Amino acid sequence: MTEDPPADEGDDAVTLESFLDALQSEGRPVATAQQIARRLDCSQAAASEALDRLAAAGDVERLDVESDPVVWYPSEWGRLADRERVVLFPERRELVVDQPSQYTRAQLSRIAHLVDTSGTKGYLYRIRREDVWAAPFDDFEDFLGTLRSVLPRRSPHLEEWIERQWTRARQFTLRTHEDGYTVLAAASESLMGNVARQKLDEEHLHAPISETESWVVEGSEAAIKRILYEAGYPVIDERELETGEPLDVELRTELRDYQQDWVDRFLDQRAGVFVGPSGSGKTVAALGALTAVGGETLILVPSRELAGQWRAELLEHTTLDPEDIGEYHGGEKEIRPVTIATYQVAGMDRHRSLFDRREWGLIVYDEVHHIPSEVYRRSADLQSKHRLGLSATPVREDDRETDIYTLVGPPIGTDWDALFDAGYVQEPEVEIRYLPWASDEERNAYASAEPRAKHRIAAENPAKVDEVRHLLAEHPTAKALVFVDWLDHGRAIADAVNAPFVSGETPHHERDQLFASFRDGERRTLVVSRVGDEGIDLPNAELAVVASGLGGSRRQGAQRAGRTMRPAGSATVYVLATRGTSEEDFAQRQMRHLAEKGIRVTENGVE
């Protein structure tokens, strides 16, 4: 015998909004009164009464099927199709979100990794252990509250896994002993014995101080953090590192909301990597961090060109005077309160002591994805109280992103797609164009070539020269960059389109003049080799043609497309691949990384 519902239960047991929520939870476009009652935690009688009332108002409709229960569905199917829907797969720790609201995307950007998106529907998020470790919350309850605010229902399985990861990220700490040396402390005796002392050796730890503490070998801190991170235990770094002499500086530019959020999160963590697309203002956000820290600063960059650009940004956006800024590289060697040095020079033995002796309040690692390589890694061992990396794409083909986050800090960023929607960064149109061979002779040469030679033959397919000429003619007023990997190919294209070719062989002063003329609008087209992939500010590019270089990394593909991502104006990226060769796979792999960031990528064949 069923109990009668309370007198007022049927009045608000089911509303149109709660009915749509229940359908979403069911994952079906129709539902019975019994299913609705179960989802909304009311009696079946109350649900039926409320559904009858909604039907009378024209909001829902019923369908009587012979021998089957009555099912209900919305009168306006569009209402259901346009709603945000969140589907959780707890075993895979994935969420699929259709029509996500700005609020949902903002919340998920703090706790999950955006894996893929089609731009308007079908956002795929994954919660990785790294996302839990780096989440910007003071306690687990804050993390849990954010998670529950976007999920359609609670998931004990997922929440238990997240709590385990949250706990693992707080088991080891590096701190400074009162006598000045560094100590590794574990949360328990078993962790120190079964994890730290099993994974680390005499190169990292001296004799134990206690059952839960060990004396750290000087200079091994970065290696300890990397080894324990890989073992699943990120280390909290609470060492009393250098703060540097005070620096009297203010920011002249007002930060955007998301940039201020980056800075606030960085100041709280004291270490991190700003991750965002070209044009999102990572450099300006870094200057915001510099002024907030207010200590002497070392900025490490990959090239002399980028050092000059940092100087210009510092003078434009801060109150620093020219005499406050020094450059230290192959061309100049001045150490000032704010010093911009190249990674190569800063890592050399004969220069390293100069940087070691100075107490830096902040070290900025620009293009931080280079850090794991040996030549850059030596300069990354320089440590300060605040360590900040910058990168549009901190991915590496050797899967050593872990080194970036252990040597510098965890990622701090914003959903690229949110920046596109908000108008801060213009989303480019990306098209992969598959070209035929220019002749049977070229096709036969490719077919009979050794495996190592095939890639270059495909890259230098003469049909690409004609296609570049055609694309530039289709965009006669666009400021265009044409990217190549091979010098001969670059020269052939440059001759065909009557444009300069900028490569590593081009003298620095000539490069500077050509880039300046492109920025100023005096020159409309440049053909560039890998020197244009990063570290060069070319903010007005409206068209990018990737003519060769499809054997490169996902990061390289993103960097080249990123040359067109700026706050205003539309831009187009064409990626040229020779049909039937490995370039097809390379192009799809490179552009898939952009698609994961929310950029629309299309594919077309060229006859």
Q: What's the mean pLDDT when you consider all of the chain?
A: 81
Q: What local confidence, expressed as pLDDT, does residue 9 receive?
A: 45
Please name the helix (run of DSSP H) or strand (run of DSSP E) that holds residue 164, with its range, or none. Answer: helix 156-168
Predicted pLDDT at 530: 72
What confidence tier does 19 reach under pLDDT thresholds 50, 70, 90? Answer: confident
| The length of the chain, given as a count of residues | 607
Q: Averaged over 129-149, what is the pLDDT?
A: 87
CATH topology of domain 257-414: Rossmann fold (3.40.50)
Please tell me the distance from the alpha carbon of residue 95 to that of residue 124, in angstroms, as a whole number. Answer: 6
Select the highest-mean-pLDDT range: 176-185, 371-380, 556-565.
176-185
Residue 546 to residue 601: CA distance in whole angstroms: 14
- pLDDT at position 395: 45
488 is written with which tokens? Answer: 């001969």
Residue 38 has pLDDT above 60, yes or no: yes
Given a contact cutoff of 8 angstroms between Cβ atoms, the answer to whether 556 and 465 are in contact is no
Mean per-residue pLDDT for 525-536? Answer: 70
Place of tokens 């100049």: 332
Q: Tell me, which fold does domain 9-80 have in CATH?
A: Arc Repressor Mutant, subunit A (1.10.10)
pLDDT of residue 588: 75
Counting residues of the chain whose pLDDT is more than 70, the rounded percentage is 80
Are 9-80 and 257-414 the same fold in CATH? no
Look at 71-85, 100-114, 201-215, 334-348 and tell me which has the smallest mean pLDDT: 71-85
Q: What is the DSSP letter of 337?
A: S
Beta pairing, strands 572-578 & 543-546: parallel
- Beta-carbon contacts of 443 under 8 Å, excluding residues fewer than 6 positions away, are 437
Please provide the distance, in angstroms rounded to a whole number, between the alpha carbons at the two ends of the chain: 75
**Model pLDDT, residue 547:** 87
Q: Tokens for 309, please give them.
A: 């650009």
pLDDT tens digit sequence for 473-514: 998 888 888 988 888 899 999 999 999 998 878 887 888 888
The H or E element containing residue 573 is: strand 572-578
Q: Within 13 Å, how many C-alpha atoms sit on residue 193's CB side?
A: 5
HEC secondary structure over 185-250:
EECCHHHHHHHHHHHCCCCCEEEEEECCEEEECCCCHHHHHHHHHHCCCCEEEECCCCCCCECCCC
Q: What separation in angstroms does the CA of 26 have from each of 19, 87, 112, 158, 482? A: 11, 10, 24, 19, 51
Say how many C-beta atoms besides its own lie within 10 A of residue 272's C-beta: 25
pLDDT of residue 84: 75
Q: What are the two backbone dihedrals, phi and then psi, of residue 603, each rounded to the nearest 5 degrees?
A: -130, 140
pTM over 0.85: no
The ranges assigned to domains in the chain are: 9-80, 84-168, 172-238, 257-414, 426-605
Please report the pLDDT score of residue 25 as a whole number.
74
Q: For domain 426-605, which CATH number applies: 3.40.640.10, 3.30.930.10, 3.40.50.150, 3.40.50.300? A: 3.40.50.300
Judge contact between 577 and 584, C-beta under 8 A.
yes
Which residues lie across from 576 on neighbouring strands? 433
Question: At 176, which amino acid appears?
Answer: T
H or E segment to which residue 74 belongs: strand 71-74
Over residues 535-547, the pLDDT tens digits come to 455 556 788 888 8
118-122, 250-254, 417-421, 458-462: range with lowest mean pLDDT: 118-122
pLDDT of residue 504: 77
Average pLDDT of the residues in 364-380:
71
> What average pLDDT does this structure show over 196-218?
92
Strand partners of residue 364 = 299, 388
Which run of H or of E encompasses 114? strand 113-116
Q: What share of the chain is helix, strand, coil (3-state, %, to 5)?
A: 45, 20, 35
What CA–CA distance (Å, rounded) separates 591 from 601?
Answer: 7
Apex 42 CA angle, 36 and 48, nearest 5:
55
Identify the pLDDT of residue 216.
93
CA distance 244 to 384: 8
What's residue 330's pLDDT? 77
Residue-wise pLDDT for 373-417, tens only, equals: 665 666 666 667 788 998 876 543 334 556 677 778 778 876 666
How would residue 592 be classed by pLDDT, with cut points 50, 70 and 90?
low
149 exposure class (CB count in 10 Å sphere: 0-12, 13-18, 19+): exposed
pLDDT on residue 564: 47
pLDDT for 196 equals 93
Among the ranges 14-23, 195-204, 526-535, 571-580, which has the highest mean pLDDT value? 195-204
pLDDT value of position 469: 93
Residue 403: per-residue pLDDT: 65
Closest CA to 482 of 449, 523, 437, 528: 528
In this prediction, residue 77 carries a pLDDT of 61
